[in-house]
Structure 1
Amino acid sequence: MTEHLKGISVFVQVADAGSFTLAGERLGISKSGVAKSVARLEDHLGVRLFNRTTRSLSLTNEGQTFYQGCVRALAELEGAQSAVTTHQQMPTGRLRVDLPVVFGRRWVLPVLLDVASRYPAVELEVSLTDRRVDMVEEGIDLVIRIGPLDDRATVVARHLGVQNAVVCASPAYLDAHGRPTNLEELANHACITFERGSKARPWLFVGADGHPLSHPVRGRLWFNHSEAILDAALAGHGLALLSNWLVAEHLKSGRLEAVLPQIETQGFPIHALWPQTRHLSSKVRVVVDELVSGFLPVSPWDIA
């Protein structure tokens, strides 16, 4: 049983990192050691957990199902451990946290403020920025990051969920201009796009073969901020591709309507990161535990 628990931990690290090599660096073991651990777990389960090619690594359907169960189980174990250790050491001192601007303010800051209220000995310093900070060099205790992890073995990552995107528009716009039924029909619609370097970003989907699909779109309105795109979509100016955590409340209220729900959009993992140390400080642990409890196993912005 101990060996299988170790294999599960290695498996989750590989799924989060998307690489045997990077998972090995974070765990302090060799790439071959990681591969052997995953292979033993696959033999024990009798299923293949990863699709492996020379250039990519992705979860199989069975692997995705197993991964979600493992995340829930590990969260329970960490919560039990935290319940024991929290009474031994109350969080104190300055906690420096870096958050992505929009997601951080909407979903993480309320958790941080709640922690600050419950633990008056904690001094909270929060920066909101979308640049990739160097945690060690800048003295950051905790980072929330959306997207692939490219750090080396200097940080520890905790999975918090997945950001998916939704093509959506106001019902008034769709009633006036029709509802597209495939990607090709997007060319007949006003698409509110994210501008980067004077160019509109293409919209990212997942093709029938499971590979990323970049689809160019065009329209009259370009913005460099997701909340501005949301405002334009709510005002009926066209279709937008926006994060599910940003539009969930508007989809539920009917102010926005999902378009092309049968076509999968590219998702990005959400992680809590902290510097790799021998012992996780109680001030970081309490925040991570609160985020895990609030975001898993079902994200509060889940619109399914």
Structure 2
Amino acid sequence: MINRERFEGIAAFVETAEAGSFTRAAARLGLTRSAVGKSIARLEARLAVRLFNRTTRSLSLTDEGARFRESCLRILAELDAAEDSLAARRAEPAGLVRIDLPVLFGRQWVVPLLLELSAQHPGLEFDVNFSNRVADLTAEGIDLGVRIGALDDAAGLIARRLGTQTTILCAARTYLDRHGRPGGIEDLAGHAFILERARGGSAPWRLTDTSGKARNVTVRGRLAFDRSDAIADAVLAGHGIGRLPGWLVATALRAGTIETVLPGFSSDEMPIHALWPAPRALPLKVRVVVDALVARFQPVAPWDDPGMHHGP
């Protein structure tokens, strides 16, 4: 006969070990803090070991607790794999997928894909958060995140490379018709620039040519914004040269409304990844989203279409 309480104790233990707190584990399990604490206490009594070191300020695994956690994770991974195998036979993913996305990139390039998946798979549900902060996927109960930039804090996460963000110099065709098209870095002098306002002021623009040689260019302008979409608006309105992610201005480039300035130079390449918590097996409902992202962005990202217009 299956002892349901035994499995509840294991679930409470694993969630607490990953969250580092009874309170956060209770929120993720939909239980009270007291219920989680009692469940783990019963588990410790049954095993006759202490799994956590508890103080008024911290909670950490004992040596026995760390070893037991690894065993539990292996067992849970096998259960996940078994469930995924059954789900794969049904060939219909279902369930809630919690996703964290960068604000502008997520709205422009990921949400349309999620809407397609929602239409294809009626059993899927999406709860999407837009934020430019670095979310703690494990602690916040997020199934999948998309991140632009270095993964310096990705311990405990699995990452899948989706593509690369390349920042380009661009300006409206009307602006360039009036003020001329720079042929080299020296020709930038005298042009109007739309700046990205960072804490401490605007930094020089670092431009790299096709040979990999980089130069820092000091730029000044009357307009500075702390949002890329505001910079894009000013560029489209013809106020000067801006530095923007290629994916943000891809539509305007294709339409010929704006042009790449100094197309032989690029600036600030950053990787784009999909990430999810490890080490559990990836559930089918999440795998479907990851596979769709990879298929959409590789081998060539949609904003890097070779036919994209780069000016005359």
| Same fold flag (TM > 0.5) | yes
3-state SS of paired residue (2:127) = strand
1:86 and 1:199 map into 2 onto residues whose CA distance is 52
* Displacement of 1:89: 5.9
Pairing of 1:210-289 with structure 2 (within 5 A): 210=212, 213-289=215-291
* Displacement of 1:213: 4.2
* Displacement of 1:241: 1.0
Listed as ranges, the gaps of 5+ residues in structure 2 are 1-83, 307-312
Match of 2:116 in 1: 114
Match of 1:167 in 2: 169
2:165 and 2:85 map into 1 onto residues whose CA distance is 29
* Displacement of 1:197: 1.9
1:197 and 1:275 map into 2 onto residues whose CA distance is 31
3-state SS of paired residue (2:266) = coil
Q: For residue 92 of structure 1, what is the amino acid of its counterpart? A: A
Match of 1:87 in 2: 89
Q: Which runs of 4+ in 1 moved over 6 A?
A: 82-85
Query: Deviation string for 1:36-60 (max 9, x for gaps)?
Result: xxxxxxxxxxxxxxxxxxxxxxxxx
Match of 1:97 in 2: 99
3-state SS of paired residue (1:268) = strand
Distance verdict in 2 for CA 1:153–1:210, change over 3 Å: same
**Larger deviation: 150-159 or 237-246?**
150-159
Match of 1:192 in 2: 194
Distance verdict in 2 for CA 1:208–1:137, change over 3 Å: same
Q: Does the Cα contact within 8 Å between 1:191 and 1:219 map onto a contact in 2?
A: yes
3-state SS of paired residue (1:267) = strand
3-state SS of paired residue (2:274) = strand
Distance verdict in 2 for CA 1:286–1:189, change over 3 Å: same
Match of 1:133 in 2: 135
* Displacement of 1:211: 6.2
Q: For residue 270 of structure 1, what is the amino acid of its counterpart? A: I
* Displacement of 1:292: 0.8
Distance verdict in 2 for CA 1:275–1:177, change over 3 Å: same
Q: Does the Cα contact within 8 Å between 2:205 and 2:216 map onto a contact in 1?
A: yes
Q: For residue 113 of structure 1, what is the amino acid of its counterpart? A: L
Listed as ranges, the gaps of 5+ residues in structure 1 are 1-81
Pairing of 1:12-27 with structure 2 (within 5 A): none
Aligned length in residues: 223
2:146 and 2:134 map into 1 onto residues whose CA distance is 10
TM (norm. structure 2) is: 0.66
